[in-house]
Amino acid sequence: MSEAPQSQDLDPRRYRHVVSRFATGVTVVSTVVDGVRYGLTVNSFTSVSLDPLLVLFCCEIDCEFHEPVLTAGKWGVSVLSQMQADDANWFATRGVPGVDQFTGRPGVRSGRMLAVPLLTDALATFECRTWTTYEGGDHTVVIGEVVEATITNEGDPLLYFGSAYRGIAPA
């Protein structure tokens, strides 16, 4: 009887290709520290619990967003529409420490409850306080308690599938 292969036997490039077959929504997670606004394109956002109201996202430890979001303890989520691929690309580009990533970006507002930056053209927004975090390999799993949730616009979501942004095709 042969032993099952271990995960380290799976090539990361192959894994990434296979996991790209799972469609996800696209969000921008944002925070503010000492008046500097940070944002990150995230497709690992999901609802966790209704009691208490919890959501989560995963943040790469090496990215410039990691320290600010953990330091701030508060963050926003903007659920992108299929018309916001430019926003997704902008916030997918690595930021520079101490440089406000929202400067000059149109359509930005401060959240009503936590004053985190949110995109006005998003389909929905959430404002969250960090509830707990977990180590997850080269990422930190950040779980937040939702203190505000708003549907801000109608439209179709921006999706990420096959390593590309896409919209919803008619059925």
Q: Diameter of the chain by CA atoms?
A: 62
Q: Is the peptide bond before 97 cis (omega within 30 degrees of 0)?
A: no
- The pLDDT value recorded for residue 2 is 58
φ/ψ of 95, rounded to 5, equals -80, 175
Q: Which residues contact 1 (CB under 8 A, 6 or more apart)?
A: none
Residue 77 CB: number of other CB atoms within 10 A? 25
Q: Each residue of 25-84: pLDDT tens digit? A: 999 999 999 999 999 999 999 999 999 999 999 999 999 999 999 999 999 999 999 999
Distance CA 71, CA 69 (A): 5
Q: Each residue of 96-110: pLDDT tens digit? A: 778 899 999 999 999
Helix (H) or strand (E) holding 155: none
- The pLDDT value recorded for residue 1 is 56
**pTM to 2 decimals?**
0.92
For residue 151, pLDDT beyond 70: yes
Question: Is residue 95 within 8 Å of residue 68, measured between CB atoms?
Answer: no
Q: Which two tokens stand for residue 16?
A: 């990434």
In Å, how far from its chain's centre is CA 104? 21
- The pLDDT value recorded for residue 57 is 98
Average pLDDT, the chain: 93
Question: Is residue 61 within 8 Å of residue 139, measured between CB atoms?
Answer: yes
Vertex 46: Cα angle to 135 and 28 (nearest 5): 90
Residue, of 57 and 2, whose pLDDT is higher = 57
